[in-house]
């Protein structure tokens, strides 16, 4: 009821609700006979297909079909339902098999629906082809393949797959490097072949599939050279044979062909949809436009990541078996495409085995011990392992995950809430596996890992068996294991507070918790300090919101005193140090406080820290970190705010990390965080400058190009910013490539220093390859001879 209607309240006036105790006889109010509208009811039925239920699967499938055919609905509802079917196949691909069976049953009684659904699906596929959304093409095509029994001209589908393959082959033969579009097409083809046989295992289909596979060998897929950069395991220490997904898929398929396409993936639906007589429908051919596009053309190659291996039993399919890719593909699509409802994703992960052939997996929640005593011949594949591995592979994908890492955290958190007994031990094993390989993990993966695990623990009371890591506290300070423990605790602290975290840690670990003051003192203003008087005046002036001119006097005093004291430092540096510390101190109560103090004092800050003053900018960062030495997380936030207000330039922050910090600081999370932030900021500045409008609207409303000198100003600004970004990359490579000096005494430290530097460099080269394309020359001019760097740069060309 709309609240704006004036008559609305009047209707209820004077009428008491009966149960409020008036003397009418007590009777239940009769409800109008409520019929749930068709769409929500059917939607619920169809979206639950295949989930654990008290009805056997065949019954559910038939029930869905019957409910669908027994109601008559208008065109709008029909279209919504068809669209829902296609969306299920995209968002919840695990359910497509039961859904297809159900639609077959629908066709048995109501063949007009059968014809319309198939027609609609072909239309949708065509629109995805035209839009270049190849992953959706793959998924809807799979739906069509599963509906083979009701399609009369199925050759059209096979023919389309063949056309895709031909086009992919043509595309690779034309270009010398990597072609992301060809890879997408090729992936659609290879991943469709097994389903052709799954949907119809006749010899005829097998022969056709083999034929297509043989043809697919013409595709020139040279293993990617950038593998080293995309591998989460460094130093060639991958615990399994690591390879890119397409190459792996070729191997798996060739094994499958050798086994004569023996693939028992699905529930046997043949008995359900059985009918002696049903209509088949002919479909329109799918058209492949002359000019194809790929929606995500900048996607880097996929590699196959594994986290469960070398257990006493095989809990996941071996990598050379097609099942490993098919499961991963189904799960990844669910995780990525259903990201708008993580609870649903978690439910499907936990029930993952329910959607496939019974007996394909060991029962859920089977412990490893029990698995190792399993009867010979029965499956030892743990559905939880396979499902969690798919999420972890998404999280640790390099150079970046397809969705924000926090999404994968949240899916894992949901899964753990839904089925703690099944999932918690599975996580434990992944965590221990990653921990034991820390010394061979990519730096970015280490930080992703610490980020995830700390976030996860913050949702589960911070309980972890810390004692199993106690011994590692004696390792070298830069050993990744020791660094990981430190960073993990530090990240926990940032999400919580010291007293709480100390409670959860064994005594041996409590030294790693820096409590620090909530508001550290402004030490310059302490009575015994030489600048005590002036510092207090600065503080007072800031509080009184005085303008830059009014600070001149006190700044001069500080300078004079500094010269008198014969400080080696520049007199102006002292002014900078006192003023910036004062602001940080005033803003210590919260991030909003520091933000507003920065805003208020901006004019003075610009005087103290002029725009073109790299050295001074670096000093500001140093001062902030000096003040917040126990809470570097807060220091990072303050530096970010200073950068956002353009008090300090991104380049200066990068220089501070590379030039002013000790070499060992590359293991610090804040270096990693700020380096990424600074580069992103420099990129953003370019984007902002490019977005400045080049036209103005005059009084008559006509758009006019800006005056020439204005245009030049804009272009010059863009040019300068681009040069700065380039300069940032050159600086990073130059400084990180600088050999680490050391002697025999601290050999191990030097080794790890080098390790962290290399890791940083590899990550920067990998993650920002698109931004330094025209940087090859300046880098060459640096005269770099380090093979590692030269190789890495060459490899990024493939990303």
Using CB under 8 A, list all residues that contact other proteins: 3, 39-40, 43, 47, 76-77, 79-80, 83-84, 87-88, 91-92, 123-124, 127, 338-344, 404-407, 409-410, 413, 451, 455, 458-459, 461, 494-497, 590-592, 595, 631, 633-634, 637, 640
User: What is the closest distance, in whole angstroms, from the C-beta atom of residue 80 to other proteins in the complex?
Assistant: 4
Phi/psi of residue 695, nearest 5 degrees: -125, 160
How many beta carbons lie within 10 A of that of residue 764, not counting itself?
A: 23
Phi/psi of residue 697, nearest 5 degrees: -100, 125
User: What is the closest distance, in whole angstroms, from the C-beta atom of residue 52 to other proteins in the complex?
Assistant: 16
H-helix or E-strand spanning residue 705: strand 703-705
Report the C-alpha gap between 406 and 404 in whole angstroms: 5
Cβ nearer to other proteins, comparing 228 with 492: 492
User: What is the closest distance, in whole angstroms, from the C-beta atom of residue 464 to other proteins in the complex?
Assistant: 15
Per-residue exposure over 683-705, b if at least 16 CB sit within 10 Å of its own CB, e if not: bebbeebeeeeeeeeeeeeeeee
User: What is the closest distance, in whole angstroms, from the C-beta atom of residue 445 to other proteins in the complex?
Assistant: 17
Report the C-alpha gap between 653 and 634 in whole angstroms: 16
DSSP string, 535-562: HHHHHHHHHTT--GGGGHHHHHHHHHHH
Cβ nearer to other proteins, comparing 500 with 727: 500
DSSP 285: P
User: What is the closest distance, in whole angstroms, from the C-beta atom of residue 411 to other proteins in the complex?
Assistant: 9
Per-residue exposure over 162-191, b if at least 16 CB sit within 10 Å of its own CB, e if not: bbbbbbbbebbeeeeebbbbbbbbbbbbbb
Cβ nearer to other proteins, comparing 222 with 341: 341
Cβ nearer to other proteins, comparing 410 with 601: 410
Cβ nearer to other proteins, comparing 508 with 630: 630
Cβ nearer to other proteins, comparing 254 with 343: 343
Cβ nearer to other proteins, comparing 640 with 769: 640
User: What is the closest distance, in whole angstroms, from the C-beta atom of residue 414 to other proteins in the complex?
Assistant: 9
Cβ nearer to other proteins, comparing 346 with 582: 346
User: What string of H, E and C letters represents the secondary structure of 104-130?
Assistant: HHHHHHCHHHHHHHHHHHHHHHHHHHH
Q: Are 523 and 529 in contact (CB under 8 A)?
A: yes
Cβ nearer to other proteins, comparing 42 with 283: 42
Report the C-alpha gap between 52 and 355 in whole angstroms: 9
Closest CA to 97 of 157, 44, 57, 53: 57
Cβ nearer to other proteins, comparing 400 with 436: 400
User: What is the closest distance, in whole angstroms, from the C-beta atom of residue 432 to other proteins in the complex?
Assistant: 24
Residue with tokens 């610090």: 668
DSSP 566: T
How many alpha carbons fall within 13 Å on the CB side of residue 370?
A: 9
Q: Are 352 and 94 in contact (CB under 8 A)?
A: yes
User: What is the closest distance, in whole angstroms, from the C-beta atom of residue 388 to other proteins in the complex?
Assistant: 18
User: What is the closest distance, in whole angstroms, from the C-beta atom of residue 105 to other proteins in the complex?
Assistant: 20
Cβ nearer to other proteins, comparing 182 with 647: 647
Paired strand residues for 697: 703
User: What is the closest distance, in whole angstroms, from the C-beta atom of residue 340 to other proteins in the complex?
Assistant: 5
User: What is the closest distance, in whole angstroms, from the C-beta atom of residue 232 to other proteins in the complex?
Assistant: 20
For the purposes of burial, counting CB atoms within 10 Å of the CB of 330, is it exposed (0-12), middle (13-18) or buried (19 or more)? buried
Closest CA to 731 of 782, 684, 680: 782
User: What is the closest distance, in whole angstroms, from the C-beta atom of residue 376 to other proteins in the complex?
Assistant: 40
User: What is the closest distance, in whole angstroms, from the C-beta atom of residue 647 to other proteins in the complex?
Assistant: 17
How many beta carbons lie within 10 A of that of residue 198, not counting itself?
A: 19
Cβ nearer to other proteins, comparing 530 with 633: 633
> Which residues have C-beta within 8 Å of that of residue 713, sequence separation ≥ 6?
none
H-helix or E-strand spanning residue 696: strand 695-697
């Amino acid at each position: 009821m709309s609240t704006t209607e004036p008559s609305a309240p009047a209707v209820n006036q004077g009428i008491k609700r009966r149960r409020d105790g008036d003397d009418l006889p007590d009777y239940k109010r009769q409800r109008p006979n409520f019929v749930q509208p068709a769409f929500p009811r059917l939607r619920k039925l169809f979206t639950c297909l295949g989930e654990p239920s008290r009805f056997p699967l065949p019954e559910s499938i038939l029930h869905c079909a019957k409910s669908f055919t027994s109601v008559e609905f208008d065109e709008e509802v029909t279209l919504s339902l068809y669209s829902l079917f296609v969306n299920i196949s995209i968002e919840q691909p695990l359910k497509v098999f039961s859904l297809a069976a159900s639609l077959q049953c629908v066709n048995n009684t109501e063949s007009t629906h059968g014809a319309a659904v198939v027609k609609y699906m072909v239309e949708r596929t065509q629109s995805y082809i035209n839009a270049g959304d190849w992953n959706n093409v793959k998924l809807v095509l799979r739906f069509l393949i599963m509906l083979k029994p009701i399609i009369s001209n199925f050759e059209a589908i096979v023919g389309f797959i063949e056309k895709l393959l031909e086009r992919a082959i043509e595309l690779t033969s034309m270009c010398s490097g990597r072609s992301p579009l060809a890879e997408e097409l090729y992936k659609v083809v290879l991943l469709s072949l097994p389903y052709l046989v799954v949907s119809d295992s006749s010899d005829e289909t097998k022969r056709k599939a083999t034929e297509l596979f043989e043809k697919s060998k013409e595709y020139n897929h040279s293993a990617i050279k950038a593998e080293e950069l995309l591998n989460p395991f460094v130093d060639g220490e991958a615990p399994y044979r690591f390879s890119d997904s397409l190459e792996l898929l070729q191997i798996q398929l060739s094994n499958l062909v050798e086994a004569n396409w023996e693939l028992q993936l699905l529930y046997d639906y043949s008995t359900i949809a059985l009918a002696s007589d049903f209509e088949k429908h002919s479909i329109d051919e799918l058209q492949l436009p002359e000019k194809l596009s790929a929606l995500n053309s900048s996607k880097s190659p996929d590699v196959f990541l594994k986290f469960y291996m070398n257990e006493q039993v095989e809990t996941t399919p071996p990598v050379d078996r097609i099942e490993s890719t098919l499961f991963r593909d189904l799960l990844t699509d669910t995780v990525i495409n259903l990201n708008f409802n993580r609870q649903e994703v978690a439910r499907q992960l936990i029930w993952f085995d329910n959607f496939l052939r019974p007996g394909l997996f060991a029962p859920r929640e089977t412990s490893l011990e029990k698995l190792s005593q399993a009867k010979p011949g029965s499956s030892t594949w743990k559905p939880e392992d396979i499902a969690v591995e798919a999420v972890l592979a998404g999280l640790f994908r390099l150079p970046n995950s397809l969705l924000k890492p926090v999404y994968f955290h949240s899916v894992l958190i949901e899964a753990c809430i839904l089925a703690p007994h099944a999932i918690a031990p599975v996580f434990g094993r992944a965590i221990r596996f990653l921990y034991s390989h820390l010394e061979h993990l990519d730096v970015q993966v280490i930080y992703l890992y610490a980020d995830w695990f700390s976030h996860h623990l913050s949702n589960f009371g911070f309980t972890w068996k810390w004692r199993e890591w106690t011994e590692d506290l004696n390792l070298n300070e830069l050993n990744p294991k020791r660094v990981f423990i430190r960073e993990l605790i530090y990240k926990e602290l940032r999400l919580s507070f010291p007293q709480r975290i100390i409670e959860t840690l064994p005594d041996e670990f409590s030294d790693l918790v820096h409590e620090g003051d909530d508001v550290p003192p402004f030490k310059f203003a302490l009575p015994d300090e030489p600048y005590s008087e002036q510092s207090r005046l600065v503080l007072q002036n800031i509080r009184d919101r005085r303008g830059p001119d009014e600070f001149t006097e006190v700044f001069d005093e500080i300078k004079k005193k500094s010269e008198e004291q014969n400080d080696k430092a520049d007199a102006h540096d002292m002014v900078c140090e006192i003023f910036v510390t004062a602001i940080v101190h005033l803003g210590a109560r919260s991030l909003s406080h520091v933000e507003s103090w920065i805003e208020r004092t901006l004019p003075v800050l610009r005087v103290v820290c002029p725009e073109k003053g790299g050295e001074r900018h670096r000093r500001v960062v140093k001062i902030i970190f000096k003040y917040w030495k126990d809470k570097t997380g807060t220091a990072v936030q303050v530096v970010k705010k200073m950068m956002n207000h353009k008090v300090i330039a991104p380049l200066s922050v990068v220089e501070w990390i590379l030039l002013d910090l000790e070499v060992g600081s590359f293991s610090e999370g804040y270096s990693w965080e700020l380096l990424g932030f600074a580069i992103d900021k420099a990129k953003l500045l370019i984007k902002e400058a490019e977005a400045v409008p080049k036209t103005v609207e005059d009084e008559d409303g006509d758009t006019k190009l800006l005056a020439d000198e204005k245009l030049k100003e804009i272009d010059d600004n863009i040019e300068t910013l681009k040069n700065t970004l380039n300069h940032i990359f050159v600086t990073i490579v130059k400084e990180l490539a600088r050999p680490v000096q050391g002697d025999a005494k601290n050999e191990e430290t030097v080794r790890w220093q080098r390790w962290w530097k290399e890791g940083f460099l590899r990550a920067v080269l990998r993650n920002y390859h698109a931004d330094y394309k025209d940087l090859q020359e300046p880098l060459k001019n640096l005269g770099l001879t380090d093979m590692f760097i030269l190789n890495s740069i060459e490899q990024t060309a493939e990303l």
